[in-house]
Every structure is written in C-alpha cells, then in structure tokens.
Structure 1
Amino acid sequence: MTDALLVGNNLAVLVAAAELGEAGRRVVLVTDGRPPGGHFRGLTVEGTGFDIGMVTLEQLGGDRSVADEPALAGYDPDRRYDWTRFAASVDRWQEAQVELRRTPTPEVLVEGRRWPDHLMSDRLDVLAELGTPPSPLLSREDPVHASHKTTGPAYGTVTYAAAALANHGAALQERLVRPFAAKVLGPLADDLLALYHRAAWLPLYWSETVAEACAGLPTAVREHPFWTTSSGFVGDLVRRLEQRIAALPHVTVDPSAVESLAAVPGGWEVRTAAGGRWVQEQPVLGLAADRAAALLGLPPPARPPGASVTVLCCTVRAAAVRDPAACLLVADPAFTAYRVTDQDLVAGVDAEWRRVTVEAGHAADAVADAGGDVGAHLVGELCGLLGVEPAPADARGGHPDVRVLRTLRAPGALAVPTADALAAARGSRAALTEACPSAVLTGALLGPGLNSLGDQVVQGLAAAQRLG
C-alpha cells in the first residue's frame, strides 16, 4: 500500500503529489490518460506555449506571518472565496515555483476608447472621467447590498444581473458592465448567480463605493494587481511542478487511463490500462465530475449551464502593432471578441513575434452560424484593436503580420453557476461521498466555482497536510 494515491490530472493533485513526495512519502499519481494540470497547463503549438486565454496569478497574502495563518484543514469549499483566507500560503507556494512579474494594468474598450480596467482591476477612477451618474444609495440593511455577498442568505439565490443593478445603478451597469457580460455569457447573462460574479470577470461593488467614485472621490477600493511568470506563460508553473515530481524518487506517475476504482479490503483499489494496481484507504480524487461518477457506477451528474468559448492563439509581428495592449477587455458591443491578451507584453518580454490570444463567446457562435470564418473574423478584429494594417486584398496564405496557430471552439465550456446548478452539484457531491466516503475530493468534484488556481493550490496543500 502506498502512503498516498492521487487520481486525476487537475492542479490540486499535482500540488499534493509534489508536497508529499518532497516530504519523503511514497506517492502514486494516476493522471487518467490526460495531460497533468488541466486548464492551467495551457497548450504548446509549434513549440510556442499559450495559456488558454487570459490566465493570471494573484498575490494577496500581504505581510501576514505564518503564525497568523488559519489551518489548511479549515478550508471550506462551501464558503465562496475561502481560498483567500490562505492567500499567504498560496503566495509562498507560487513564489517557490516560478519567478513572478506584475502585469501592466489591463485596459477596457468602452465606446471606442480605452480606459483603465474597471471590470477586473477595480480602477474606479474611470467612473468620474466618463461622467457616470450614481444611483440612489442602497441601504446597508438591504439583503442585496454587496456587503452581504459572501455571507448573506439572499446571495444563495439572487442573480448577478439583479444584484449589480441594485448596487451599481442602471447608468453604470447598462453602459459599462452589461455589454461585456452579454458578450461573455450570451443568453446566460441573466442567470449567473451573484455570488459567482468573478466566474465571468464581472465586478460587484458596494453602492457607496460607486457613489464616491462617480463623484471623483477616493474610495477604499484599490487597484487589484495581477501577476504572471517571467516568460508570460502561466503554463510554466505546471511544467515546473512536473519537473519537481519527476525528480522525486518516492513518486510514481502512471499516465494511463483508470480502468476501475473499487472498494477492496484495506481501502480503495485503482487499476489502470498500463497494468497498475494501487490500493489506498484515502484516495485523493482530481477528476472531472462525470468521470468520477462513471468510475463509481453513479448516474452522470447534471452539467451546469455553460457559455461557449472561442480562443484564437496566434503570433503577431511586434513591429506591425501601432496600439499595443497587454490585456484589453472589449466591452464595446461593436466587436465579437471580449478580450485580447499579449502574453509577451504582460511579462515585459521583448519578442519579434508576440504570443496573443483573442477570446470570444456567444457572438462567435453567431458568426459561425451565419456561415462566417470565425478565425478570419477575429483576426480582422484583432488588427483593428491593435492598430495592425489589415491584410492586402490579394494576400494569399493569411495575414502577413498575424500567424494563426490554433483556433479552439468549446460550446458550453465556461460553467455558469446558477442556484439550480449549485443545488445539483451539492447532490452529486453527496452521492460521490456516499459511494466513496474516504476519498479526498478536489476541484470540480467539490462544486462549481472551485477550480480557480488559488482554490486548487489550497486544496492540494490541504490534502498533502492531511495525508502527510
């Protein structure tokens, strides 16, 4: 029997494998035939590493001492943003993996002009510059007041559309937020649960904060910084983890598919297509919810509603870019794309050809449904957004300054947490726990909204501490 058996490919099981292995424990990591790291692995195309859209790191721990940190065992997946209580641990873990660089402040395109980003980065000074009129203040006693968004019972059911309108007012919401939400979420824009507004990179401010910002007054909200690796490729973090794990003598990695997961005397047995047979009393599971259910003979869980995602991975000749942008959120409804990220520029890397991703949602489906070429359409928008000359009419073989390396289209890939979806997820988790009561669950098995990098690092650290 091993000291630890980790089954799956998400980031949490990789973190746990590295931590346990470095502590000298005998570890088996079974990745179920999938690339380790999941979404955070990114992809490599023609030798070029791309994150799948905008993927950033956060540093939130500040100067908190180790003695002041809560115990990892207290992590509560049912408490939204609970990973932030352990932010200092996440900060230290990230810093031990890769060299970090703070990214430039993202920008947002509104009504044809770029502004400092108010959607993700909290640059609320833009409200006064745009002359946004505030709405009447919402009483702090109102259950929908944003001060209650992580603990108030109303936030178990209220939608983002309703909560944001109440706290932001119609002028801010309809002009500066809703157009972006509509492009990211499409028809699901009115269904997103307010508690999970960051799942779609949307803000939810207190009404007092909005009133102060609209009046040009200082607020308690400061710019939210983001970080990346020194290469501009967050996927390097997963590569670094793989290197650490490969160098550990007590860690065995079985990359083949899991053929069975069953109770046996002494614990749970995993058999793999490569002939592996591993037994552990407390396996750590980092599988997709439907995959775990299938292995345990459970009915397939209900999938949460999801918004379509299209990601264009390309390189752009730096000399051709007249209007560079490290990260540009596109709230302007005239465009199909909702975000452009230049991985080299965010890290300050000087490259002749820059790695750029363009993200689009429901509107890209409309282009395809009308018979259009989604890739060519997004390249045209990219040129307009970055000031790159359009391709000559007689150009053959694509744009001379934009090389498209991969176009990813994933219907329903962006999970949209709703009240019904959360209730279904709780039922699925309960069934999974009943079927495999000793398993340590991570990632999507804990419910929607628990796949963020911070959440998975904390889950992995907590699992390692529990089994170590």
Structure 2
Amino acid sequence: MMERQATIIGNNVSSLVAAIALADQGWKVKIINPLSSWGGHFGGLTFHNDHFDCGMTFFEFDSFHQYQSDEVLNYNPNLRNDSGRFTSLIKNYVNDLILTKVVPQPKMFFNGEIFGDLIISNDLSIFKKLSIEIKEAIQKELLKITINPNASLHAKNKLKSNLFFTNNFNAISLANHGTTFHNLFIESFCKKIIYKSTTDFLGIYHRGVWLPLYYPETILSQFEIEPQILKYTEFYYPYQGYAGTFVNALLMKAQNNRRINIENTTITSLIFNGCYQLQLANDHFVETNNLVWGLDLFPLIKLIQDNQQPLNYDKASISICFIGILSNMINREFSTLLILDKEFLSYRVTNQNICSRSSSSITKIVVEFNTDFATSIGVIDEAQIKIRIESELIKLHVIESNTDIQYFYCKHWKHSLMIPSQNSYECFNAEKSIVLRKFPDIKLIGNASAFMSSSLNDQIIQGLQVAKQMEI
C-alpha cells in the first residue's frame, strides 16, 4: 500500500495542528514554512530574553451557550463563532500540551476610574456607579427600545437574522443599546482601536473589534432592585508562560514526530499537473496529491498569476509597546485594563506577569494603541511615543516614575488588523474564488479558511478538521 502523504504550507497554529493530527493517523507530512517564525500573532516576540505576547492574547473556552460536540467534520468556518460548539475539545487539546490557569478578571478605565469590564468580560457593575443623569438617559432610551423593539436587529437573533450580515454595527448597537450607552462605551472605544466608526464594519463581526453586544433587556435590568447578573467571561493563560508557550509546544511535538518533515524555505512556483508540483527556493521539488494552505490567500494568488495586485482591504494600523518594569515598583496590578478615555493614547494595557502568575523580578507590560489615532493627536515619532506611554502608565498608577522602567520597545504593524467591513468581506471572497477556480481541491485553513475565522479556537478546530477530511 502506497504511503499517504500531505504537504502543508504555513507557519500558523492550524498548520501545526493539522500536521500532528495527520501524522498521528499514519500520514507522512511535509510542512513548508516560507516565513521566519511560527504561530503568527500567537507566537509572540522576545526582548531582553523576555517572551512577550503581541498584545492581549488569552485563551477562551466559552461555549457561547452552544451544545458541545467533538464532530469536527461538522465545523463550518463561515458560520460566526461556530468554534464555540467545540470549546470542550479545544480546552482538552490545549491542556494536553500546556498548563493554563484562569486569568484575573480584566478591568476597564472609564472617566478616570477603574471599573469592572463590560467590554469583553460581561461585568455590568459599572451601572451602579454612573451619574444620575447618565443612568436616566440610558434607562429612558432602553425603555423605548424594549416597548417597541426592532426584532430583526435584536441581539438574540445575531446568528439567525441576515440583517446582522448586511447592517453595520452602528445600526445594531443603537437598536440594542440606545444612543447614550453606545456613545459612552462603544463608539469612542471603537475609534481608539481601529480609528474608524462603528458604521465602517459589519455587525456580525463586532467581536473582531473587541466590542460587546448586549440584550437591551439585560442593560435595562441593571436599574432594577434585582438586576440580571451575567456570567463573567473566563479567560485562560499559560501558567508561568505566555501565549507562545502553546505554539512552542506544538512546534516541538511536530519536530519530534518522525513522520513530519519541516522545511523553512519559500515557494518559487506551484502548478497542478496530475498532482500539485512545488518548486522551492532551496532547489527542492515537491509533488503531492494533498495540499493544505495555511498562509494568507494573496501569496497563493501570486503563485497562480504573478501580475495580480493586492486588493484594497480595510485594515487598521496597530502599534504595541513591550516594556520591562521592576516588579517591586508596580503599584496597580491587573491582568488587562481596557482604556476607554479618549485622552489616553493606549486602548489596552496587559500585565503578563499577573496573567501567567509569574514572580519574576521584571514585570512584562504590553501596551496597545492605534498608530493613526496616535498621529491624529500629534504623537508621531518614537521619542514622543515613549514619553506619552510612560506618562500614561504613571497616570494609571501602574508606576510612580519612568525610572522604574528597565527597557522599552515599540513595534508598528501598518495595515495589519482586519476591519470586517463589507469591502473587506468582498475582497476576501474575490481572492478565495481565484484560488478555488485554479485549485478546487486545495485545503484552506487559518486566514485562508473563511472571512474572520482565524482565532486560536478556529485554528485548532480547522487543523483537526482537515486531518479528518483527508481520512474520508
């Protein structure tokens, strides 16, 4: 019997998961990684021999109230949050490789004070502390909404109504939250993250921009004697590690598997002539009947038609500061702090030592901000960025003085964060159709699988799914 063989092109989590699963099924697997690192966003970066995440990077095993399944063949990357049906499987998969612990609840900085976080954590306790005027405005608007609801835009119909796929998030948020809540907690924070309005992306993908969507009845109940209490979202993090700990564990498992061969090189040509034929930059030639693509679509399109120009996706430019601070000088401790106040350049600050329960003498702080938002408020060069971020850490009472900082690095990723707009959706589908017309049998995972379906959870299921599909 001829040995079953597959070739996977990619460096992401789904590529490694697929390779390991196929090898466990008895396949011979070749991974070709044209890039210089592993794990993509989840791999992190290293400064001063300290491992950092590229921003807040948590593991989330929330089921979104969905019935749990381990039938990965039924997973649909085109269905928003479909990975929620597999979170028990995902949690077991992750914990077989690394130890994770629950992260202390994220906090929110609003109007100069720290509150429980309603953006990503479902903590609505802030409503007890708002001013009377704001409470009355929110309550009045929500009473009107609940008396005459727009049923088709109600949050409960997010996965049922096509209007969530065609309406922007502004219309959906206003229909569920009212104007006051929307302007206070949604719109201003949206601009800080993507430097765009909620009118600029499709409502179904609001979590892709880290924005919440609540039932109007849930918010309105916060003004009653017995408010509805939501279950807080639990986030997990590698114990004594960082997100890249999981990527490294996957990579080590792949490297130690004799059925997996890894080549770090680029592809100079790809054709289908009875089988897939790949010419590599290291002069190696590969033939395979089973090709899995785990990179973005555009590098594959360039191999199909070299003169193709990149399509004009809507993307935000993100900057991240990686800061080492003497641990005994840290004043205010939190896992992640989401900063809504527009006077602050940063929109999120994460303390990786708190997340990982590390007792290291240096605390690793990660600060995220939108590059274009920074430019709009006159923070342009590296010196200005450093001064501004240091002053904000002092205002947030994280440190008392910038002399507590041992090292400070800032990296910028221009047009790196996908804005899930109608235009971006159409660009993705146009690219995918080019690929599938040329290679209808190719397996697409990660960023290439479906629009906005490359979360850590999605990638784990996609890797497991493609291995199962090849068994059929």
Quick one: which of 254, 258, 278 aligns to 1:270?
278
Quick one: which of 325, 338, 342 aligns to 1:329?
338
Inter-partner Cα distance in structure 2 for 1:163 and 1:234: 33
Deviation at 1:253? 0.2
* Matches for 1:22-421 after TM superposition, within 5 Å: 22-60=24-62, 69=69, 71-130=71-130, 132=135, 133-134=138-139, 135=142, 136-138=144-146, 139=148, 142-215=151-224, 217-219=226-228, 221-265=230-274, 267-297=275-305, 299-361=308-370, 362-366=372-376, 373-391=384-402, 400-421=403-424
CA shift in 2, pair 1:59/1:449, >3 Å: same
CA shift in 2, pair 1:303/1:215, >3 Å: farther
Inter-partner Cα distance in structure 1 for 2:364 and 2:177: 36
Q: 1:391-431: per-residue Cα shift (whole Å, max 9, x none)?
A: 4xxxxxxxx31133421112221110112221221222122
Inter-partner Cα distance in structure 2 for 1:109 and 1:216: 26
Give the equivalent residue in structure 2 for 1:395.
none
CA shift in 2, pair 1:415/1:367, >3 Å: same
Inter-partner Cα distance in structure 1 for 2:292 and 2:228: 43
Letter aligned with residue 376 of structure 1: I
Inter-partner Cα distance in structure 2 for 1:401 and 1:114: 22
Inter-partner Cα distance in structure 1 for 2:37 and 2:309: 23
Out of 327-336 and 300-309, give the one that drifted further. 300-309
Deviation at 1:259? 1.5
Q: 1:30-65: per-residue Cα shift (whole Å, max 9, x none)?
A: 011331211111111221110000000012359999
Deviation at 1:220? 6.2
Inter-partner Cα distance in structure 2 for 1:410 and 1:442: 23
Q: 1:437-457: per-residue Cα shift (whole Å, max 9, x none)?
A: 110001221343111111111
User: What's the TM-score once normalised by structure 1's chain length?
Assistant: 0.92
Give the equivalent residue in structure 1 for 2:23.
21
* Matches for 1:431-450 after TM superposition, within 5 Å: 431-450=434-453
Give the equivalent residue in structure 2 for 1:7.
9
CA shift in 2, pair 1:389/1:462, >3 Å: same
SS of equivalent residue, structure 2 residue 76: coil
Out of 49-58 and 22-31, give the one that drifted further. 22-31
Inter-partner Cα distance in structure 1 for 2:470 and 2:196: 44
Asked if structure 1 preserves the Cα contact closer than 8 Å seen for 2:78 and 2:451, the reply is: no
Asked if structure 1 preserves the Cα contact closer than 8 Å seen for 2:443 and 2:466, the reply is: yes
Q: 1:93-150: per-residue Cα shift (whole Å, max 9, x none)?
A: 1111210110000000000100010000010222233253332234565221111212
Q: CA RMSD in A?
A: 2.2
Inter-partner Cα distance in structure 1 for 2:64 and 2:199: 35
Letter aligned with residue 22 of structure 1: D
Gaps of 5+ in 2: none
Asked if structure 2 preserves the Cα contact closer than 8 Å seen for 1:309 and 1:409, the reply is: yes
SS of equivalent residue, structure 1 residue 337: coil
Out of 225-234 and 109-118, give the one that drifted further. 225-234
CA shift in 2, pair 1:213/1:63, >3 Å: closer
Asked if structure 2 preserves the Cα contact closer than 8 Å seen for 1:254 and 1:276, the reply is: no
Gaps of 5+ in 1: 392-399
Identity rate, percent? 23
Out of 168-177 and 214-223, give the one that drifted further. 214-223
Deviation at 1:216? 5.4
Inter-partner Cα distance in structure 2 for 1:434 and 1:64: 34
User: What's the TM-score once normalised by structure 2's chain length?
Assistant: 0.91
SS of equivalent residue, structure 1 residue 187: coil
SS of equivalent residue, structure 2 residue 441: coil
Deviation at 1:232? 4.0
